[in-house]
Chains A and B, each alone.
Chain A
Amino acid sequence: MTTTDVKKDDRAPARRRRGGGGTATGASARSRILVTAILAVAAVYFLVPVYWVFVAATKTTSDLFDSFGFGLGEEFVLFANVSEVLTYNGGVFWRWTLNSLLYSVLGALLATLLAAAAGYALAKYDFRGRELVFGLVLGGVLVPAAATALPLYLLFSQIGLANTYWAVLLPGLISPFGLYLCRIYADASVPDSVIESARLEGAGEGRIFFTLGLRMMAPALVTVFLFQMVGIWNNYFLPLVMLADEELYPITLGLVTWQSYQGRDIEMYTRVVTGSMLSVIPLVIAIIVLQRYWRGGMTAGAVKG
């Protein structure tokens, strides 16, 4: 490699070149410092609120208002704050956490299974109405979820489902995006010949799907599951509209309830801050650990999208 080559290679996406050899050395030191500096500045932006909440959760209420927000307060009361949040009002925070887990994990699991079955059928069977179903569901992606929440509440309250677990669980079982991804993925990764030979060996259609189809679609299924889980966990409007009973609340709704007491009880600030910190931990860990899986599935979606 000549010096001119090195200069031209400046910031060119060398890493992607398979078998290019000596990949990272392609970039000059100066551009590497510049680019990494920009990336680091962006990282600070994304970290600031999270850093703040972790620091704020260690403070007493008076320190929260009086000390510098990015530094520690006079007292370190993280554990007292956490146990206060977990025991306040009969440990209702636990209840909300379990509700959130129920809604998001169970909902996302079932949603993935439903999307997988439907996507698999749309990809692997040629039947009348196939494109109609697909088009209808894709249209569903474009409908703002918030626009359906209000009428859904009216509908559910007429059949007695409003203010029950079902009111939040059922709408979470449908992922139009998941169906789209599953169809594309099944198209690309479940060969007809494999299905064919399983049939020749006498396997039923359901068994073929559960034993072969699901396994071959696994990378896409992980993506669908994660998206749906995060979507349900983060949802606020639907539970707000559907639920009146505090026992059924997910964490998001519970924290907002606490926030609304802040005006009356200044200690509530500490509970809201510490509760926010606790609610951030599980999903942030999940996202950082699992972010590689998001990529795999999304590429399949983006290629055709």
Chain B
Amino acid sequence: MTATTRSAPGEESPDGPRTATAAPPRRRSRARSRALVPWGFVGPFLALFTLCFVLPILYAVYQSFIQIRRYGLFGEEGRETVFAGLDNYTRALGQETFVDSIGRVLLFGAVQVPVMLGLALVLALLLESASARWPGFFRALYFMPYGVPGVVASLLWGFLYVPGLSPILDVAGLVGLEPDLLGPSGVLWSIANIITWMFIGYNMLILVAQLKTIPGELYESARIDGAGPLQTAWNIQLPLIRPALVLTTIFSIIGTLQLFAEPQILAAFTVNIDSAYTPNMAAYNSAFTDNDYNVAAAQSVVVALTAFVLSFGFLWLVNRKDRRR
């Protein structure tokens, strides 16, 4: 086959070589239909992506800038939609509980994400070390909580947090400890424990996957240079799995901002979780309790923007360090 056929990627028809030089009309129309082939493959995905991702985002942005004005006591004298500027945003951010909820998840993330990823990293390194026995068994076991729905995990841990029901508190009581796991300050970290329990294994698996791509020769030469296991981990393994660490951090940041199911379920066990405990709960509350979709939309947009700013901020920070090196 000649190079000329290669140069026209859309026209690799069975009877090739002549295509590049002369293209009779029939050919050209066939070439055009060839150009549509990739869109045939991408089309269904793209259509649903537009319906379920792009449109809702645009719609949320639109909703967040409008307000419905009702006239008469029950809106019986008509209603109109007006442009509201930043009014919905001012009202959303004017709710003290909403602002508090953002601060709360930021604090949550600042503590929980490093702890969870640190533990996932340690477990991944240990599982990949020669000293681990039955690594496949442990790996499967650690990953198991990922298959437990957040709702069910919260129910299970909720029962384990309740005084009188919890065997953990019974055991702690034997040694004189009486932690208030559902108290005003403790409950946030009780939620953190649920998230950590669910996602350590998932993150560990991503890290293990990248650890497995490190060529054996690198370990060999580190060993010849006299590097111990800690030095090998620090100087070889950590730098080489950085992409996986960055990926898991970003997923974790986004997940943290979306917190909803776990605090909502735990709220049934304690009075210390209010209906606007996380930004997402606040938005849900605005929409379905206050029936104020415009403020809810503004809150959703704020959550998404915060996620964007934090993940790109984190990426920027990581890249800047890279350039310095």
Contact = CB atoms under 8 A, between A and B. Distances in A.
Contact of B166 (A9, A69, A230, A241): A69
A151 B216 CA distance: 50
Given A52-B159, A115-B45, A142-B254, A276 B216 contact: no
A114 interface: yes
Interface string A30-43: 01101110110011
Contact of A49 (B51, B142, B160): B160
Interface stretch (B92-100, B109-117, B121-129, B182-190): B121-129
B265 A256 contact: yes
B140 A39 contact: no
Interface stretch (A72-80, A82-90, A168-176): A168-176
Given A147-B301, A255-B151, A299 B213 contact: yes
Contact of A18 (B170, B216, B304): B216
A52 B229 contact: no
A253 B262 CA distance: 13
A115 B49 CA distance: 11
Interface in A15-48: 15-18, 20, 23-24, 26-28, 31-32, 34-36, 38-39, 42-43, 45-48
Contacts of A202: 14
A120 B197 CA distance: 35
Most buried by A among B56, B130, B138: B130
Contacts of B212: 16, 295, 299
B147 A230 contact: yes
Given A45-B197, A115-B45, A150 B284 contact: yes
Interface in B288-317: 293, 296-297, 300-301, 303-304, 307-308, 311
Contacts of B155: 255, 259, 272-273, 276
Contact of B247 (A127, A199, A302): A302
Contacts of A205: 34, 37, 40
Contacts of A184: none
Contacts of B293: 150, 154
A251 B151 CA distance: 10
A237 B150 CA distance: 10
B133 interface: yes
B167 A39 contact: no
B39 interface: yes
A12 B232 contact: yes
Interface stretch (B20-28, B69-77, B201-209): B201-209
Given A144-B303, A237-B280, A298 B205 contact: yes
Contacts of B229: 10-12
Contact of B45 (A143, A179, A260, A304): A179
Most buried by B among A146, A260, A305: A146
A34 B300 CA distance: 47
Interface in A95-129: 114-115, 117-118, 120-122, 125-127
Nearest to A295: B209
A190 interface: no
B3 interface: no
Given A125-B38, A252-B151, A148 B157 contact: no
Most buried by A among B13, B45, B136, B296: B45
Nearest to A161: B51
Interface in A138-158: 140, 142-148, 150-155
Nearest to A100: B149
Contacts of A56: 159
A144 B130 contact: no
B132 interface: yes
Contacts of A164: none
Contact of A39 (B123, B226, B232, B284): B123
Interface in B247-294: 247, 250, 254, 257-258, 260-261, 265, 268, 280, 283-284, 287, 293
A93 interface: no
A152 B52 contact: yes
Contacts of B14: 199-200, 202
B48 A174 contact: yes
A300 B303 CA distance: 31
A127 to B, nearest CB: 5
B210 A148 contact: no
Contact of A155 (B56, B222, B268): B56
Nearest to B41: A121
Given A10-B131, A118-B42, A230-B147, 16 more contacts: A12-B229, A118-B45, A126-B10, A144-B254, A145-B258, A147-B280, A148-B57, A151-B59, A155-B59, A173-B48, A174-B45, A174-B52, A196-B12, A251-B149, A291-B205, A302-B213
10 contacts: A10-B131, A17-B216, A49-B157, A147-B300, A148-B53, A179-B45, A209-B41, A280-B147, A283-B147, A302-B243
